[in-house]
Amino acid sequence: MKLREIAAALGCQLAGDGELEIRGVAGIEHAQAGELTFLANPKYASRVKNTRATAILIAKPIEGRNCLVSGNPYLDFARALALFYQPPRPAPGVHRLAWVAESAVLGENCSVGPFVVVGERVRLGRNAVLHPHVVIYEGAEIGDDFLAHSHAVVREFCRIGNRVTLQNGVVVGGDGFGFAKREDGTHFKIVQSGVAVIEDDVEIQSLTSVDRATVGETRVKRGAKIDSLVQVGHTCVVGEDNIICAQTGLAGTTVLERNVLLAGQVGSAGHLTVHEGATVYAQSGIGGDVEAGARIAGSPAFAAGVWRRAVTAFPKLPELLETVRDLKRKVEELEKNAGQNGNPSQPESGRVPE
């Protein structure tokens, strides 16, 4: 594409030669001649002078450089990627090695790959793509533009909205982890009678589980993005536009409100609410409700600013402990010496000093 064509497609201001041909996009350190790169974080500005990229997506133009000036360079770089790369889409139709129940209803332009199983009374919207080995259980309802990669599973009676993507190995609606202990110490499985509901524009990355509810529903709300190896327990609510990073675990009945961000390896106890706009740092343990807009860290988690000071002090604790021990010994010695020497200024009993 010509640079001016990219500028027009992205709605960016062109600064430089619009007739230059761009064949792809790349990061600032790896970009070559003929490629477009971007600068979103000012701390990497020094790398601009060494990049071989033909043009740069940037917030402010640089003299002598071909630039696309953007209010959000990172977002527009993502949009530029979509101009140059589209993943392959299988042709519409049902592969001869797939099995689709007679009672299932498939929308227009669906693609069903080999070894896919679509169960009884499934309803699948338009333009769905089911890659090989996807399994849709009985009674599931799925909207338009659904994309399921190999080995993704949607369990019985679960509901999925429009434009949802399930990466490889995702399980929607697997049984929640619920057992009642008998008097003899053995465990009785609690039937997981609820469902999992995935709203519109959700993407769930590889090997993540969204468990069905014991009763009622587990719900992932519109626009949420869930990373790989995440566990969403039974009856949880993942709020609109949440970001949940890899290896996070949400115990049952955790509620996340809008625009919550959970960094990697966060753990949440059940029956709590993380309120709107909160950020939880990596490897934190959430033991109770989190206020709206809070930034917390640590395990158990508390205010991130306090946590940073505590972490800075932590490596110094052995030295501080030794100092406290030295001070304690000195105080004990002073008290002992004071007791042995007595107080010469103290008058004898019964006498009044002249």
Each residue of 7-34: b (16+ CB within 10 Å) or e? beebebebbbebebebeebbebeebeee
CA distance 302 to 296: 5
Q: Are 123 and 146 in contact (CB under 8 A)?
A: no
CA distance 197 to 130: 19
Long-range CB contacts for residues 233-238, cutoff 8 Å, separation at least 24: 233/176, 233/177, 233/270, 234/176, 234/177, 234/178, 234/192, 234/194, 235/176, 235/194, 236/211
Tell me if residue 234 is catalytic: yes
Strands 159-160 and 195-198: parallel
CA distance 288 to 51: 47
77 phi, psi to nearest 5 deg: -65, -40
Q: Are 266 and 280 in contact (CB under 8 A)?
A: yes
23 phi, psi to nearest 5 deg: -105, -5
**Catalytic-labelled residue, pool 30, 133, 234, 271:** 234
Q: What single letter denotes the amino acid at residue 256?
A: L
Spell out the residues 6+ positions from residue 149 whose beta carbon is closer than 8 angstroms to its own.
131, 134, 166, 167, 168, 170, 206
Number of neighbouring beta carbons within 10 Å of residue 260: 25
Strand order in the sheet with 129-130: 93-94, 111-112, 129-130, 147-148, 165-166, 203-204, 225-226, 243-244, 261-262, 279-280, 295-297, 302-303
Which amino acids are annotated catalytic?
234
